Amino acid sequence: MTKGSIRKGTPSQYLLALYCLYLLIPIYWLFTLALQSNSDIVEGFSIIPKNLTIDNFVEIWTNPVWYQGFLNSLTYVLINTIISVSLAIPAAYTFSRYQFLGDRQLFFWLLTNRMAPPAVFLLPFFQLYSAIGLFDTPLAVALAHCLFTIPLAVWILEGFMSSVSTELDEMARVDGHSFIFFFFRIFLPVNRSAIGVTIFFCFMFSWVELLLARTLTATNAKPIVVTMTRTISASGIDWGVLAAAGVVTIIPGIIVIWFVRKHLAQGFTLGRVS
């Protein structure tokens, strides 16, 4: 797997190249549509767009329905990530260091929450969050998304933390450090890449979700992905604006990926590679 083998090219490398092309072509098409006016899209098909315009993006950044939706999405994703990671850290530490009554069952139960089929749970969710007066707030969506981000965060962090030897805990105790000092100044810095990966996953799963976000919001907290599903106006769908909104929703993801790129692959295995 040295540089020489890249130049030579094995069948799997050709396939990799083809697959990257397959990934990029639909995204390329999204970008070209986003940069054309709707009438150009409908009337003239061309692989390389002729009249480029940024009107669709101007529409998104000037129309409050769109940019407010974008901000709403970011708000609940951030709240969710903060809650998930700060609660999952102590839980994952406990799971990785202590044995207690029902620990394995509890761990399994956490996982099952990620697997509930959403469609019918939507009505109880709506009733529950209406009853406690959180309906149509970013906090409601953030709390609802905790249902699958917290179990995931606990799982990933537990995987990473279990691979940190307990000798570290012992040494800190022998050196006379308090638990608080050990936890915040020694243990968490050792696990910082794990925390980075966890933040990425919480962000990702909260950002891509649509059903709960749509159910728990009406007008004030409506996320951009929901706005996208309602772009059909009297004159039909404005494909250009829809494509531009799609482009806008991809950007935060790309920024976040860039920061955790080195730890990405390991995070997907929930910290358990071998």
Range 245-264, binding another protein (CB under 8 A):
245-246, 249-250, 253-254, 256-258, 261-262, 264
Q: Which residue has the tokens 């709707």?
A: 38
User: Which residue in the set 35, 156, 194, 225 belongs to the binding site for another protein (CB under 8 A)?
Assistant: 225
Nearer to another protein, 174 or 254 (CB): 254
**Is residue 266 at the binding interface for another protein, with CB under 8 A as the rule?**
yes
User: Which residue in the set 121, 177, 186, 193 belongs to the binding site for another protein (CB under 8 A)?
Assistant: 121
Report the SS3 class of residue 136.
coil
String of b and e for 204-216 (b: at least 16 CB within 10 Å)?
bbbbebeebbbbb
**Is residue 273 at the binding interface for another protein, with CB under 8 A as the rule?**
yes
Part of the chain binding another protein (CB under 8 A), chosen from 23-31, 51-59, 178-186, 188-196: 23-31
Shortest spacing between CB 29 and another protein, in angstroms: 5
Residues 6+ away with beta carbon under 8 Å from 23: none
**Is residue 174 at the binding interface for another protein, with CB under 8 A as the rule?**
no
Question: 236 has which bridge partners?
Answer: 233
Question: What is the per-residue DSSP string for 185-213?
Answer: IIIHHHTHHHHHHHHHHHHHHHHH--HHH
Residues 6+ away with beta carbon under 8 Å from 227: 65, 66, 69, 245
Binding to another protein, residues 52-71 (CB under 8 A) = none
Per rule CB under 8 A, count of chain residues that contact another protein: 102
User: Which residue in the set 8, 47, 50, 233 belongs to the binding site for another protein (CB under 8 A)?
Assistant: 47
Report the SS3 class of residue 163.
coil
CA 178/CA 226 separation, integer angstroms: 48
x/- mask, another protein, residues 25-44, rule CB under 8 A, reads xxx-xx--x-------xx--
Part of the chain binding another protein (CB under 8 A), chosen from 64-72, 105-113, 181-189, 190-198: 105-113
Nearest to 266 by CA among 113, 145, 149, 163: 163
Part of the chain binding another protein (CB under 8 A), chosen from 19-27, 58-66, 172-180, 182-190: 19-27
Tokens describing residue 146? 């905790």
The helix-helix angle for 138-162 and 103-112 (nearest 10°) equals 130
x/- mask, another protein, residues 71-90, rule CB under 8 A, reads ------------x---xx-x
- What's the sign of the alpha-carbon dihedral 158, 103, 203, 80? negative
Part of the chain binding another protein (CB under 8 A), chosen from 57-65, 171-179, 186-194, 205-213: 205-213
**Is residue 168 at the binding interface for another protein, with CB under 8 A as the rule?**
no
Q: Taking a C-beta distance cutoff of 8 angstroms, is the pair 107, 96 a contact?
A: no
**Is residue 220 at the binding interface for another protein, with CB under 8 A as the rule?**
no
**Is residue 184 at the binding interface for another protein, with CB under 8 A as the rule?**
no
